[in-house]
Amino acid sequence: MPEKILALMKRLNRGVAMLIGILLLVCVLFILTEIIIRKLGASLGGTDEISGYVMAIVTSWGMGFALLELSHVRIDFLRVQVGALGRSLFDLFSMIVLSGTITLIAFRCWPVVERSLLNGSRANTPLETPLALVQLPWFAGWLWFAIVAWFTLAAAVMLVLRGEFQQSEAAIGTVGDDEVEIHT
């Protein structure tokens, strides 16, 4: 069961990562078009505003993918001093704290979105972007990250309870020094 949960989360997040990549490429093309048009003496306008919105959205959505790829930074000087069970307990503690924090962030994002929806808020910029258009996908990304974190934690707990410490470490551990490639 935990393997199926982790496989599903990874599969879904790979799809999310592909969509995020496409969105970033579209944003890059938009910015490049703006640069070329400026050289010709004109401007599309709003590239800085739109690229800021894109960055907020892709960051919130990309966090779940980063979690499953063990890409989040963790200080693990204590973790490396203990055995497999100890590492698993440190990893579970880390995931509990992360899951709780991300859930709190997602819950705190909703009032911002709700206020924008109720007030019909628009950006105080020349584009006058309806803020809910940006804030809804931003909020959904934080909510997705919380869902991924809790499902990943649940799968890791099941693995630890079964004594499968290596599998748990592969799911929520850290990338070891021997696994890191350094390019010079």
CA terminus-to-terminus distance, the chain: 41
Residue 10 resides in a domain: yes
Q: Is the pLDDT of residue 180 over 50?
A: no
Q: What is the model's pLDDT at position 173?
A: 84
Of residues 170 and 115, more confidence is placed in 115
Determine the longest span between alpha carbons in the chain, in angstroms: 66
What is the pLDDT confidence band of residue 81, given thresholds at 50, 70 and 90? confident
Q: Give residue 59's pLDDT.
A: 95
Domain count, the chain: 1
Q: What is the pLDDT of residue 182?
A: 37
> In this model, does residue 96 exceed pLDDT 60?
yes
Q: 179 falls in which pLDDT band (50, 70, 90)? A: very low
Q: Does pLDDT of 177 surpass 60?
A: no
Spatial separation of the C-alpha atoms in residues 184 and 127, rounded to whole Å: 44
In a domain, 90, yes or no: yes
Does the structure show a pLDDT above 60 at 181?
Answer: no
182 belongs to a structural domain: no
* The two three-digit tokens of residue 98, written as one number: 């992360």
Report the share of the chain in percent with pLDDT over 90.
Answer: 66
pLDDT for 143 beyond 60:
yes
Q: What pLDDT is stored for residue 176 in this prediction?
A: 59
In a domain? residue 119 = yes
Q: What is the pTM of this model?
A: 0.85
Range of the domain at 32: 2-175
Taking a C-beta distance cutoff of 8 angstroms, is the pair 56, 109 a contact? Answer: no
In a domain, 184, yes or no: no
User: Coil, strand, or helix at residue 130?
Assistant: strand
Does 181 map to a domain?
A: no
Percentage with pLDDT > 70 across the chain:
95
In a domain, 183, yes or no: no
> 27 is written with which tokens?
């944003």
Mean pLDDT in residue range 119-142: 94
CA distances (Å), origin 44, targets 38, 47, 131, 133, 181: 8, 7, 20, 20, 42
> Residue 42 — pLDDT band, cuts 50, 70, 90?
confident
